[in-house]
Amino acid sequence: MQDKIALEEAFALPRFAEKTQWWAGMFAVDAKKHTTEINDIHKIRPGYMDKYGVGYTVLSYTAPGVQDIFDREEAQALATEVNDYIGNEVKSRGDKFGVFATLSMHDPREAATELTRCVTELGFRGALVNDTQRCGQDGDDMIFYDGHEWDVFWKTCTELDVPFYLHPRNPTGSIYEKLWAKRSWLVGPPLSFAQGVSLHLLGMVANGVFDRHPNLKIVIGHLGEHIPFDLWRINHWFEDIKKPLGLDCKKTIREYFAQNVWITTSGHFSSTTLKFCMEEIGAERILFSVDYPFESFSDACTWFDSAELSESDRKKIGRENARKLLKLD
Ligand code: GRE
């Protein structure tokens, strides 16, 4: 399929090449190639896009990125630097590239102000944040965005009418030590990423964020970070047990998924899982993505282009749903 749109596609700052290569060492078989690819915008990436039929890519700053920085001022400065850098890189390439804003999430108002700047002045399409914001004196604490103090930020997202992509980051500090240190091969895509994001998103549901902001648009990757598989069970326990016990979110989990949540195919190229997700949440809520350069255009596109789908569903997932969500007309 030509002219696909991909929206979980990472870039890094070239000045961090050494750090990027160290990080890539944990996740990429060829860390050098990964580093070259993630730092590239204009040479290698458009080559893959043309070869594999991706017409438009939304770029976002790599994980853990700003969410790893527990000093508030340093985090804010890096977010601004990243946004200015990528805004400038793609300024004359709006036909091919969009951007999700990078945000420091230490302070809801500061995050709202930077998002507004990115959308209204730099033409960005929304924001992508890497799960919780690391914080505290020694970086051992973390900020979730599911409390009332974040209402000011979510109000800004809905007023700007842009999506917020909740992307994973690595577990850190004492959480890492307690849960993951002795099972470190499970960090990342095998388990920890999905656990982190699903906890955070379901926290937003349970704490009423979507009731207070019914037009909020959240995107999660990796075919829904395990949640679609569990929808029946979550629904059963929310409706039949937790609500009678006092859980007071107004709608069902299925309704929030129908109104507020989109999922992407990033890094998850299974036709069985895709079909299952289409049955559970509908083709309208699913968006094609690669997860480059953690995954390859070749794997993502070869799979998607030949997956057993109706041509109408392929167009919706490959392009049309994203066009509507990102307002690309
Ligand atoms: C990511 O998207 O940020 C990512 C990693 C590590 C492995 C896979 C992956 O940071 O998708």
Residue range 303-327, pLDDT digits in tens: 999 999 999 999 999 999 999 999 9
- In this structure, the residue with its CA closest to atom 7 of ligand 1 is 27
> pLDDT-derived band of residue 26, with 50, 70 and 90 as boundaries?
confident
Instruction: Report the C-alpha gap between 59 and 61 in whole angstroms.
Output: 7
Q: What's the pLDDT at 329?
A: 81
Res. 50: pLDDT tops 90:
yes
Residue 231 domain boundaries = 4-326
CB contact at 8 A, 217 and 162: yes
Structure tokens at 77: 């400065």
Instruction: Report the C-alpha gap between 172 and 65 in whole angstroms.
Output: 13
Res. 190: pLDDT tops 90:
yes
The Cα-based distances of 192 to 168, 175, 197, 315 in angstroms read: 8, 11, 9, 32
Instruction: Report the C-alpha gap between 287 and 314 in whole angstroms.
Output: 10
Distance 137 CA to ligand 1 centre (A): 26
Query: Roughly how many angstroms between the first and final C-alpha of the chain, as a whole number?
Result: 19
Say how many domains are in the chain.
1
CB contact at 8 A, 265 and 274: yes
Task: Indicate whether residue 294 lines ligand 1 (CB < 6 A).
Answer: yes
Distance 312 CA to ligand 1 centre (A): 30
Task: Indicate whether residue 291 lines ligand 1 (CB < 6 A).
Answer: yes
Q: What's the pLDDT at 191?
A: 98
Task: Indicate whether residue 196 lines ligand 1 (CB < 6 A).
Answer: no
Encode pLDDT of 158-175 as tens digits: 999 999 999 999 999 999
- In this structure, the residue with its CA closest to atom 6 of ligand 1 is 27
Encode pLDDT of 222-251 as tens digits: 999 999 999 999 999 999 999 999 999 999
Which residues are catalytic, by number?
A: 249
131, 165, 167, 291: which to mutate for ligand 1, most atoms within 8 A of CB? 291
DSSP SS3 for 254: helix
Encode pLDDT of 71-119 as tens digits: 999 999 999 999 999 999 999 999 999 999 999 999 999 999 999 999 9
In whole numbers, what is the pLDDT of the chain averaged over residues?
A: 97
CATH of the domain at 161: 3.20.20.140
Q: What's the pLDDT at 134?
A: 98
CB contact at 8 A, 218 and 204: yes
Percent of the chain with pLDDT over 90: 98
CB contact at 8 A, 171 and 192: yes
> pLDDT-derived band of residue 51, with 50, 70 and 90 as boundaries?
very high
Q: Which of 166, 154, 114, 144 is nearest to 7 (CA)?
A: 166
